[in-house]
Amino acid sequence: MYFYDIIEKKRNKQHLSKEEIDFAVHAFVEGSVSKEQMSSLLMAIVLNGMTYEETLNLTLAMKNSSETLEFKEYLVDKHSTGGVSDSTTLILTPTLAALGVKVAKMSGRSLGFTGGTIDKLEVFEGYNANKTLEEFTGIINKINCSIISQTANLAYADKLIYDLRNKTATVDSIPLIASSIMSKKLASGAKFLVLNVHYGSGAFMQRKKDAIKLARVMVKIGNDSGVLTRACVSNMNVPLASGVGCTNEVISVVHAINGEQSNLLKLSKELCVIILCEVKKISSSVALKLVNETLHSGKTLAKLKELISEHGGKTEILDNINSVAKAKYKVNLTSKEQGYVKNIDARTVAKAVNHLKELNKDESTKKLVGVNLNVKVNTKVKPDDVLLEIFVNDKKHAEKVTDELYHAFRFSRFKTKEKKLIAKII
Ligand code: URA
């Protein structure tokens, strides 16, 4: 078999067999195929697509390219395709664990403009996400949940291919995204998986119909591979909560757990309900009641404290969120308009926060920079009302992003019909 022929076949819109896909992935991991050749194959896949069978075979080839984990217990996992102020993991994990569901979560760091769970957990000083697999299972057995960094050893082919995709404009392709995500998820040994696939300006998938298509492919791959899989497709046009940037997102999580209404809380509850219905075989109304009780009774917060402590992190900020370390300066961005907020563009806000992080050269204080939204869609504003607060360690940095941030806002004389948060459950 020759790699050249495989590229040519895909370029000519033909289907690749399982043997050809296995050969291609194996040869690339082994180093017998150049990056140029693999890049050509990836581009041919982006342009000509893959059938479901090809996508499944690519997923399995990448999953089997390195070690895979097996757990005796029934473990639950959740994956988000990445969004803005998307911290559902930090609410869902302790809530489910408090309800007796074992959650084994391997998370990533920030990717592109989207935030990463591990970076947020490190706001809790001392949090160690690099536990061994023995320590990981030990913590799950003790407190029902653990969140560690995705190990590079799982789905090693995806790591190599993903690096190449990032450099060759071959990221946005449904078969490539589906196989990348699912190879890692199947390798990590969970028995039940819930996928949160976002669409909109703050997501990798801009269009709802593409997000639904991606969710359907991933759900089928999971179920066909013996992992019970469901998906929730949700709107990511506006940040899920008011805080954007690690510290501000953790503050939003604590407020949500303490009952402050936000799309972050709503989505976290929805994902918990999907999981509880499957795992405990109960109706969604019973599941929602359990979730609400767990949140309101303080059990979610108590479990989050246990989770942080077990990983060596300090938990004081969970008792008093005002004690969290903050950036040196808070600069207000004010409205020049009169009317109702019509939109707050998630991608624009996230990119501005990324620019703030880039400007803040000191690694140790990067987590402190970010923004906090003071308004939501349909908030009535007048000139000089504060739209958002910018947290920086150097006031000049705030000046550099104010125009950019202001462009995230759209105003209208009338109230806007709000878009649905949950588009589809699959
Ligand atoms: N996240 C992944 O892990 N892979 C992709 O291709 C896109 C998002």
Question: Ligand 1, closest atom to CA 180?
Answer: 4
- Ligand 1 lined by 87 (C-beta under 6 Å): no
227 backbone dihedrals φ, ψ, rounded to 5°: -110, 115
Q: What angle do CA 222, 76, 117 make, to 5 degrees?
A: 100
Strand partners, 233: 197, 424
If one residue of 109, 160, 180, 184 were mutated to test the ligand 1 pocket, choosing by the most ligand atoms within 8 A of its CB, it would be 180
pTM: 0.92
Buried b (16+ CB within 10 A) or exposed e, 165-192: beebebbebbbbbbbbbbbbbbbbbbbb
> Measured in angstroms, how far is the CA atom of residue 157 from the centroid of ligand 1?
13
- If the chain, 426 residues long, is cut into consecutive pieces of 10 residues, what is the mean pLDDT of each piece? 96 97 96 95 97 98 90 87 93 97 86 79 94 89 92 85 87 92 91 96 92 98 96 97 96 96 96 95 96 97 97 95 94 97 96 94 92 97 98 96 97 94 96
| 180, 63 Cβ separation under 8 angstroms | no
pLDDT of the residue at 112: 66
Residue whose Cα lies nearest atom 7 of ligand 1: it is 177
If one residue of 50, 111, 160 were mutated to test the ligand 1 pocket, choosing by the most ligand atoms within 8 A of its CB, it would be 111
Angle of the 88-98 helix axis to the 246-257 helix axis, nearest 10: 40
3-state SS assignment for residue 397: helix
> Measured in angstroms, how far is the CA atom of residue 112 from the centroid of ligand 1?
11
Question: Ligand 1, closest atom to CA 171?
Answer: 6
pLDDT of the residue at 163: 84
Q: What is the DSSP letter of 394?
A: S
| 383, 337 Cβ separation under 8 angstroms | yes
If one residue of 46, 181, 206 were mutated to test the ligand 1 pocket, choosing by the most ligand atoms within 8 A of its CB, it would be 181
Strand arrangement of the beta sheet that strand 422-425 belongs to: 145-149, 103-107, 76-80, 192-199, 228-235, 422-425
Distance between CA 113 and CA 351 in Å, rounded? 6
Residue 13 identity: K
| 160, 203 Cβ separation under 8 angstroms | no
| 237, 202 Cβ separation under 8 angstroms | yes
Which among 98, 96, 115 has a CA at the least distance from the CA of 107?
Answer: 115
State the sign of the Cα–Cα–Cα–Cα dihedral 217, 219, 222, 224: negative
- Ligand 1 lined by 110 (C-beta under 6 Å): no
- Ligand 1 lined by 181 (C-beta under 6 Å): yes
Active-site residue list: 79, 158, 165, 180, 184
pLDDT of the residue at 415: 96
Residue with tokens 């987590």: 367
- Ligand 1 lined by 80 (C-beta under 6 Å): no
